[in-house]
């Protein structure tokens, strides 16, 4: 396997579990990560950015309530 493919696969697999979708104490939908670089990359995605309403802190974005599951339905 070419090294570039190995690096891409390792990077992709390494991201699994680094993002968490859940609800805050007020029941608002949010996405968070312990790694700000991963969260920033997700927030800059042209498919995901429109679903985010605001950055709560360095590790969390608030997500529009209707957005959960919308990407899987549009694929």
Answer yes or no: is 26 within a domain.
yes
Answer yes or no: is 59 within a domain.
yes
**pLDDT of residue 27 exceeding 70:** yes
Answer yes or no: is 23 within a domain.
yes
Q: What is the largest CA-CA distance in the chain?
A: 48
Answer yes or no: is 8 within a domain.
no
Query: d(Cα 51, Cα 8) in Å, to the nearest integer?
Result: 26
Place of tokens 């995901």: 48
| Residues 53-67: tens digit of each pLDDT | 999 999 999 998 887
Write down the pLDDT at residue 25: 93
User: Whats the size of the chain, residue-wise?
Assistant: 75
**pLDDT of residue 46 exceeding 90:** no
Q: Calculate the CA 13 to chain-centre distance.
A: 14
β-pairing verdict for 52-57 and 20-23: unpaired
What are residue 23's DSSP bridge partners? Answer: 29
Q: How many domains does the chain have?
A: 1
pTM (2 d.p.):
0.67
Is the pLDDT higher at 24 or at 7? 24
Write down the pLDDT at residue 13: 60
């Amino acid at each position: 396997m070419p090294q570039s493919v190995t690096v891409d696969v390792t990077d992709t697999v390494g991201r699994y579990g680094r993002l968490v979708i859940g609800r805050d104490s007020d029941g608002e939908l949010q996405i968070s990560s312990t790694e700000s670089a991963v969260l920033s990359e997700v927030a800059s995605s042209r498919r995901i950015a429109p679903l985010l309403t605001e950055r709560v802190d360095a590790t969390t974005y608030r997500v529009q309530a209707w957005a959960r599951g919308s990407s899987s339905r549009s694929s």
